Structures are given as C-alpha cells and as structure tokens.
Structure 1
Amino acid sequence: MSGVVVLTDRRVARRPLVAVVAAAVAGGVRRVVLREKDLPRAERAALAVELRALLAEAGGTLIVAGPDPLGGDAVHLPAAGPYPPPNCGLVGRSCHDQAELRRLTTEDYATLSPVFPTRTKPGHGPPLHPEGLRELIEVSPVPVLALGGVETPDQVRACIGAGAVGVAVLGAIMRAEDPTAAATTLTSAFKAVRQPSGATTGDQK
C-alpha cells in the first residue's frame, strides 16, 4: 500500500464523482477510498461497482470506508472501530495519535492525520506537521499514509521524507479544476522521491 490514494467526497467535487475518479486514474492514481457514507446502501453499492470496474481497468483497487466492503475485498475503518477488523484482503485504519496506533492488530496500513491544516475538516487537529508525523511513524506497527491538507508536491515530499509510504488526499483532487493534472503532479512527486531509494514506478500501482 503506497503512492497517492484518493478519498472521495461528491459534495465538494467540481464534476460528477465518477468523472473525477476517472480523471484521477488517468493522472496515475491507482487506489481510491469510497466514502459517501450518507448514501443508501444500494446506491453506494452501485457506485462501488462502477468505481471498482473503472479502477480494475488500470490495475487499481477500490477501498470502501467502513466495515462493509460492498462486494469487494478492501475496507478502510475509523479509529472508533470495529475491533478486531473484518477479514478482508486489504484493511486500513484511520489513526491520529500513538494510542490509536497501539490498538492496531491485523490492519495492513494506517492513515495518520491531520498532517497539515485541512479545508475538509477545518479545526480538526492540531496538525501533526512532518515532525509529528515522523515521530508517530517510528512507533507505528504498520505502514502509514499521510492524510490531511496534502495538496502540493512539496507536501508529498515532506510526508515521504518523514517515513510515510504514501499520501491520502481529498480536496487536492475533488476540488481541482483539472483532476488529471492534479493527480499527475502529485503522483509524479511521489515517484520522484521514492525512486532514488530503489523504489520503482510500480509502487504507485
């Protein structure tokens, strides 16, 4: 689990959600977390089918926020639970501090947030900043994605430099006038900083 991961939010997207995700995939994104928890299950499941097919064509993965994978095999869970996590092929967990990291058991990865001030959740924090992110990554039992306010190549580089295996973004893609260009910029920054250490561009996939 690495690279640039996109979290969805149709309420702030400048285009229909499927179109934004398609544009992000065209820009190199290969993992997307479907949020949209306010939708009825049937409607959300139908959206999951559509996005999963779109990502599959590019060799990508749809991760569903919450314990119900909606017909898939990848979920991203809140810090509040459930514990232990469900038995899925890929399980992530939202974390914000050392206490929540200690509760991890069989999860494959965690997000740590907020790293920077974020428009999506204003007032949520305080921000960890790269220094705080590094300190938490050092005690994390699983790989970490940096989340919260990541919008620029410099921020991507700072997060990877702090030890994150990737970044999770929402506003940088959902609010972008050109999601493909925004995704290309961020994925290129990730690849550039990872390759000198022996990583390959395949890590984004």
Structure 2
Amino acid sequence: MPKVDFRLNAIVDVDAIGGDKDLGYLALEAARGGATIIQYRDKNSPTRKMVERARAIHAALKGTGIPLLVNDRIDVALVACVEGVHVGREDMLVADIRKLLGPDAIIGLTVKNEADAQAAIEADIDYACIGGLFETPAKHNPDGPIGFDGFARLAAIIRVAKPDLPVGAIAGLDLARIPPAIAAGADGVAIISAIFRQPDPRNAARILREAVDQSLKAMA
C-alpha cells in the first residue's frame, strides 16, 4: 500500500497566499475539508522564518493524521520535524535526502520531462508530481505547460516501472480540470489558489476532494 494518499495536496504557498496570513489555520481548514497532504512552499523567506512557519503549520495539523511536507528545504524539514519534503531536479539528490531524513520520511519529486520521469523511476521516492499542466501565477514554469496529454505521456513512463507509485498533477488545476486530470492518469491533484484564495478554504477543499473521489471512482 502506498505510503502517501495524494488525492488532494494542498500547497500552502507563501508567495501566493501572503505571509501575513495565519498559515497554520489555513492548513488546518484545508485538512478538515479533505486535503490528504499539506505542503509548505516558501521561496523567499529567511530560513529562521521558514522554520517558525513550518513548526506552526505542523502544530496546527497535530492530531489530524495529515502529513506536512516542506518544499525544497531539507534543512527546514529536518529542524521542524515534519513528515517529509518535496523536491525538484535542482535540489538535493533523493538518495542524500533519504540518508538525512530516514526511511519513514515522505519524499516527493517533481517531474517535468522524460529525464525527470526516469529519475522518478530510479529514486527512492514516495510519490511523483507531474507538471506544470497549465500556466499559473503561483510559479513560473520555464519549460511551458504540458497539458493533459503531456501529463498522460509522462505518467505512463512512470507507471510501467512503478505501477504502485502515486502520481499527482500540478499547476493551474481547479474544479473543472480535476476530471480530465484523473482521466489522464493522475491519482490526485496539487492545489493552491482553488483552496487558499477562496473565501472558505475548508469548503473549497471539500468540493475539490469530492470531485477527486468521484473522478477516481469513475475510472475504477
């Protein structure tokens, strides 16, 4: 059984949401609404502030059973004692991360092209997240959007070698794009704006989670 339930990955992105917000509260609302994994992403804050925020989010999620991952920063994840990290092609090698965080840590890997898909096959990861599918204001993608067809192509490469590895979709996804993302082979979706830029993040997460579950059921 996969270590990670990737059906709804709610990304607490400071640049997109705003560092003045109560990130712990927002993460908890997303978890209560149905997020199955929370990721903290912060590209510009000082390390000390990142550790403080990671600890605050982790404390808010205590008792929910929902894991918290830190994007890119293995040092922050280690010091804040969260459940894992999400990394990309330019970050620390997965083998080195595993040495630092141990066998129980959750490690996710971004996949943008065929080389990344091969890296996902060879690495000791717990899930792969393919994208970006569409343009999004939250993060510039120099490779350009791959769309549903590109996602399906990369997901198929991974599935051949690792059929049980959870594979998620990311970037520009909303309620309307969930069914075609699942139809293209996704086990779930990673979301920022469609949860955290909504008036009621808990309800937004609930609606998105229901859409994921219904789409997965339709594909079964």
TM-score normalized with structure 2 length? 0.81
How many pairs align? 197
RMSD, aligned CA = 2.0
Q: Is the 8 A contact 2:15 2:138 kept in 1?
A: no
Tell me the CA shift for residue 17 of structure 1: 2.2
2:97 corresponds in structure 1 to: 86
Q: Say which structure is richer in helix.
A: 2
Amino acid corresponding to residue 163 of structure 1 in structure 2: G
Tell me the CA shift for residue 55 of structure 1: 2.1
Amino acid corresponding to residue 151 of structure 1 in structure 2: D
Write the distance in 1 (CA, Å) between the matches of 2:62 and 2:51.
16
Tell me the CA shift for residue 136 of structure 1: 0.6
Cα displacement string for residues 104-135 of structure 1 (whole angstroms, at most 9, x for unaligned residues):
31111111111122222356442211121111
Match of 2:167 among 124, 128, 144: 144
1:114 corresponds in structure 2 to: 132
Q: Is the 8 A contact 2:129 2:167 kept in 1?
A: yes
Runs (5+) with no aligned partner, structure 1 = 199-205
SS of alignment partner, residue 139 of structure 2: coil
2:7 corresponds in structure 1 to: 3
Runs (5+) with no aligned partner, structure 2 = none
Cα gap change, 1:125 to 1:172, in 2 (>3 Å)? farther
2:83 corresponds in structure 1 to: 73
Amino acid corresponding to residue 184 of structure 1 in structure 2: R
Counting only pairs closer than 5 Å after superposition, residues 114-193 of structure 1 correspond to structure 2 as: 114-121=132-139, 124-140=142-158, 141=162, 142-152=165-175, 154-193=176-215
Tell me the CA shift for residue 74 of structure 1: 0.7
Amino acid corresponding to residue 100 of structure 1 in structure 2: D
SS of alignment partner, residue 70 of structure 2: strand
Amino acid corresponding to residue 98 of structure 1 in structure 2: E
Cα gap change, 1:38 to 1:117, in 2 (>3 Å)? closer
Tell me the CA shift for residue 176 of structure 1: 1.5
Identical columns (%): 24
**Higher deviation after alignment, 29-38 or 185-194:** 29-38
2:51 corresponds in structure 1 to: 45
Cα displacement string for residues 32-75 of structure 1 (whole angstroms, at most 9, x for unaligned residues):
11112422323222222221222232210101112232322311
Tell me the CA shift for residue 156 of structure 1: 1.2
Cα gap change, 1:85 to 1:94, in 2 (>3 Å)? farther
Amino acid corresponding to residue 87 of structure 2 in structure 1: L
Tell me which stretches of 4 or more aligned residues in structure 1 moved more than 4 Å.
122-125
Tell me the CA shift for residue 157 of structure 1: 1.3
Amino acid corresponding to residue 172 of structure 1 in structure 2: A
1:203 corresponds in structure 2 to: none
